[in-house]
Amino acid sequence: MSKFLCSAKRQVFCCVMGAVLSASLLFSAYSSPQSGGTFTDSRDGKKYRTVKIGKLTWMAQNLNFKTGNSWCYEDNDGNCQKYGRLYDWDAAMKACPSGWRLPTREDWNDLVEAAGGNPGAGTKLKSRSPDWDGTDEFGFSALPGGYRTTSGSFGSAGSYGDWWSTSESGSGDAWYRNMDSDDDYVNEYNRGKGYGFSVRCVFAET
| Residues 86-128: tens digit of each pLDDT | 999 999 999 999 999 999 999 999 999 999 999 999 999 999 9
Quickly state the pLDDT bin for 36 (edges 50, 70, 90): confident
Quickly state the pLDDT bin for 5 (edges 50, 70, 90): very low
Are 89 and 193 a contacting pair, CB within 8 Å?
Answer: yes
For residue 82, what are the CA distances in angstroms to 62, 63, 77, 102, 144? Answer: 9, 11, 9, 20, 10
Residue 34: its pLDDT value, please?
56
Residue 2 above 60 pLDDT?
no
Residue 28: its pLDDT value, please?
34
**9 alpha carbon, distance to own chain's centre:** 50
Residue 68 above 70 pLDDT?
yes
Residue 67: its pLDDT value, please?
98
Residue 191 above 80 pLDDT?
yes
Dihedral sign for Cα atoms in the order 107, 109, 110, 116: positive
**Which helix H or strand E contains 40, and what residues bound it?**
strand 38-40
Please provide the average confidence, as pLDDT, over all residues in the chain.
87
Give the pLDDT confidence of 122-176 residue by residue, as tens digits. 999 999 999 999 999 999 999 999 999 999 999 999 999 999 999 999 889 999 9
pTM for the whole thing?
A: 0.83
Closest of 126, 153, 128 to residue 62, by C-alpha: 126
Average pLDDT over residues 40-65: 97
Closest of 167, 156, 162 to residue 196, by C-alpha: 162
Residue 205: its pLDDT value, please?
75
Quickly state the pLDDT bin for 22 (edges 50, 70, 90): very low
Q: Where are the domains of the chain?
A: 1-31, 38-203
Are 144 and 96 a contacting pair, CB within 8 Å?
Answer: no
Residue 46: its pLDDT value, please?
97
Q: State residue 106 phi and psi, 5-degree precision.
A: -65, -35
Residue 201: its pLDDT value, please?
98
Closest of 182, 176, 177, 50 to residue 123, by C-alpha: 182
Residues 6+ apart with CB under 8 A from 100: 39, 59, 201, 202, 203, 204
Q: Quote the Cα angle for 148-138-70, to 5°.
A: 20
The span from the CA of 202 to the CA of 102, in Å, is 6
Residue 104 per-residue DSSP state: P
Look up residue 138 and give its amino acid.
F
